[in-house]
Amino acid sequence: MKLKPDMYKKDIYQIDYEKLKKLGKKYLFFDVDNTVISYLDSSLTKENKKLFNKLKKMGFECFLFSNSHIKRIKPLSEELGINYYTGSMKPLKKNYKKIIEKYDKEKCVFIGDQIMTDVLGAKRNGLFVIFLDKINEYEPIYTKFWRFFEGFILRRYNKKGILVKGKYYD
Ligand SMILES: [Mg+2]
C-alpha cells in the first residue's frame, strides 16, 4: 500500500525519537497546523519548546514544513530557533525536491496530521513519514476539503484493519 505511513502516533510527544536516531534519521520536518499547535493557536506551548530543545540536544535538526503563510510560521520558527519552509504546497513535489537536493533523504522524517498533504506528499517522494492524530477538530475550509478525500482512503484502509484511529504503531 503506497500511502501507509511508516509510523502512526497520537501526537508529537508520543514519537519514539530514540528509535528514529537508531534508524539513522537526523532531519525532522514538522507540519505545524494540528501537528505542533492547533489552528486556533498562534503561539507555542511550554511543551512545544521543551520538546524542540530536547530534540536539538539529541542531535536532530528540526524544521517547520507548512502549507501555511510565512506570517504565521516565521515567528514560531524563530521562537524555536529552527528553520522553516512555508507555502510548501504539500502534496506537490516542488518543495520536497528542494529538501531532497539539500539533505540526505534517507535521514529525513516528515511528521504531520493529514493523509492527503503530509503523508501523500512524503510518500510520493519516497520519504519516511509519521502520521499523527489532529490536535483538535477545528479546521479551516481548505483542510476540510482534504479531509473529505482522506475519509475515503481511511475507510478503505480501516476495513483491512490499517490506520484505525488509536491503533498506533512504529
Ligand atoms: Mg496539519
Ligand 1 centre from 157 Cα, in Å?
20
Residue ranges and CATH numbers for the domains of the chain are 7-159 (3.40.50.1000)
Strand extents, DSSP E, the chain: 7-9, 27-30, 61-65, 83-85, 108-112, 128-132
Ligand 1 centre from 139 Cα, in Å?
9
As a whole number, mean pLDDT of residues 7-21 equals 98
69, 87 Cβ separation under 8 angstroms: yes
Ligand 1 centre from 22 Cα, in Å?
26
Residues ≥6 apart with Cβ < 8 Å to 105? 99, 125, 126, 127
For 46-81, write each residue's pLDDT tens digit: 999 999 999 999 999 999 999 999 999 999 999 999
- Is the pLDDT at 1 greater than 90, yes or no? no
For 89-140, write each residue's pLDDT tens digit: 989 999 999 999 999 999 999 999 999 999 999 999 999 999 999 999 999 9
149, 137 Cβ separation under 8 angstroms: no
C-alpha cell at 55: 530534540
DSSP assignments along 38-58, one per residue: -TT--S--HHHHHHHHHHHHT
Enter the pTM of the model. 0.96
- Per DSSP, the three-state class of 162 is coil
Ligand 1 centre from 122 Cα, in Å?
13
Ligand 1 centre from 112 Cα, in Å?
6
Ligand 1 centre from 133 Cα, in Å?
10
Sheet holding 108-112, edge to edge: 7-9, 128-132, 108-112, 27-30, 61-65, 83-85
154, 126 Cβ separation under 8 angstroms: no
- pLDDT for 88 equals 83
The Cα 35–Cα 161 span in angstroms is: 24
- Is the pLDDT at 6 greater than 80, yes or no? yes
